[in-house]
Amino acid sequence: AVECLSRIYRDLGKYAEAEKLQKQCLDKIIRLFGEEHPNTVIAMGNLGITYQSIGKYREAEVLETKVMDATIKFLGKDHPDTTMALENLASTYKHLGKYTEAEKLQKQCLQTRNKLLGEEHPHTIIAMANLGHTYENMGKYREAEELETQVLDASTRILGKEHPFTIISMGYLAKTYDRLGQHAEAEKLQKQCLNAKTTLLGPEHPSTFKTMEYLALTYKHLEKYTEAEQLEIQVLNARCRIFGETHKFTIQAMKNLEKTYRHLGMDADAEMLEVYVQEAEKGM
C-alpha cells in the first residue's frame, strides 16, 4: 500500500513525498528480507526512478547499479526486467555525462531486444533510438544517423507519419543531419516535423516553436536568411507574449533574430535588438 501511494505521488509530480515514502519502504524491506530479495530489488528500482525524476543522479546510479547486478544474478541477462534495469541505469549515466558507460549498456539492451523481440518490436525501436541519442551526445554522428534513420523508417511504417514518436524521431534525425552538414536533408525533415506539430499540438505549443527555431537555424546554414527571419519573428513574438521580455527564452530568440538581421544587412534593426537584449538581461 505504501509503495502504491508513493507511485501515485510520483505520477502527480509530488516527488518529495514519493521519495520519503519509498525510502521508508526500502529500509523496512531490507530489514525484513535482506538486500537481495526480489521485493527489495523492486523497491530499489522504484526509488531509483524517483531519484532520476528529481535530478539526484548520483543516488539513482548507486541504486540502479545494485538493481542491475541483482537482476542479472537472479534472472539472467536476457530477462525483460534485466533489460529494463540496463535501460534505467544507462539513462542515469547519460544525465551524468557518462556516455561511454551508457553506450555499453544500451548496446547490450538493443542486442537482447533484437534477439528476443525482433527488429520491428516497439521496445527494440525505443532501444535503437536511445542508443542513437547517446551516439549524438558523443559526437558519433554517422553512427547516430544510421540508427536514427532505421528508427524513423520503422516508426513511420508501424506507427504512422503523425504518431508523436515518429515526429520526435524526425526531429532527432534532422538535428543529426545538421551536425553532419547535411542541411538540405535537415530542412526537409524539419519542415515535415513543423507541419505535423502545428497540426497536432497547435501553432502556440512550446514544442512547435522549438522546431521553428531549429528550422530557422538550418535556413541560416543554407543562407536562406529571409525565411529564417520570418520564423524567428514568429518565435520572438510568441515568447514575448508567453514568457515576457526578460525571460531567457525570449532573450535567446532576440539574439537569434539579431544575427539574422546582420546577415540581411539590416544593421539598424540588429542594433535596436541588441539594445533590447542588454536591457532585458539587466531585468533578468
Structural domain boundaries of the chain?
A: 1-96, 107-175, 195-284
In which band, very low, low, confident or very high, does the pLDDT at 280 lie, cut at 50, 70 and 90?
confident
d(CA 145, CA 173): 6
Three cell numbers at 218?
538550418
Average confidence (pLDDT) over 209-238:
96
Residues of 78-92 as b/e, b for ≥16 C-beta within 10 angstroms?
eeebbbbbbbbbbbb
At residue 1, does pLDDT exceed 90?
no
Q: What is the pLDDT at residue 25?
A: 87
Window from 24-28, 71-75, 169-173 with minimum mean pLDDT: 24-28
At residue 164, does pLDDT exceed 60?
yes
**Cβ proximity of 90 and 102 under 8 Å:** yes
Q: What is the pLDDT at residue 282?
A: 80
Q: Is 195-284 a domain of CATH 3.40.50.300?
A: no
HSE value, Cβ hemisphere, 13 Å, CA-based, for 11? 6
* 39/219: higher pLDDT: 219
Fold for domain 107-175?
1.25.40
Average confidence (pLDDT) over 273-277:
90
Q: What is the pLDDT at residue 9?
A: 61
Helices of type H across the chain: 2-11, 15-33, 38-53, 57-75, 80-95, 99-117, 122-137, 141-159, 164-179, 183-200, 206-221, 225-243, 248-263, 267-282
**Cβ proximity of 25 and 43 under 8 Å:** yes
Fold for domain 1-96?
1.25.40
**Cβ proximity of 243 and 249 under 8 Å:** yes
Q: Report residue 116 CA to chain centroid gap.
A: 26
Alpha-carbon distance values, 224 to 3, 184, 187, 206, 261 (Å): 55, 11, 11, 24, 12
Q: How many CB atoms lie within 10 A of CB 213?
A: 21
The overall average pLDDT reported for the chain is 92
The winner for highest mean pLDDT among 34-38, 158-162, 178-182 is 178-182
Average confidence (pLDDT) over 29-52:
90
- DSSP, res 283: T
Q: What is the dihedral of CA 86, 88, 90, 95, to 10 degrees?
A: -170
**Cβ proximity of 97 and 78 under 8 Å:** no
Write the CB contacts of 28 (distance below 8 Å, at least 6 apart in sequence): none
**Amino acid (one-letter) located at 153:** D
- Going by C-alpha positions, the residue among 83, 45, 81, 79 that lies closest to residue 65 is 45
Q: What is the pLDDT at residue 3?
A: 59
Q: What is the pLDDT at residue 192?
A: 95
pLDDT in tens, 99-135: 999 999 999 999 999 999 999 999 999 999 999 999 9
**Cβ proximity of 7 and 46 under 8 Å:** yes
Average confidence (pLDDT) over 227-233:
97
Instruction: Enter the pTM of the model.
Output: 0.82
pLDDT more than 70, % of the chain:
95
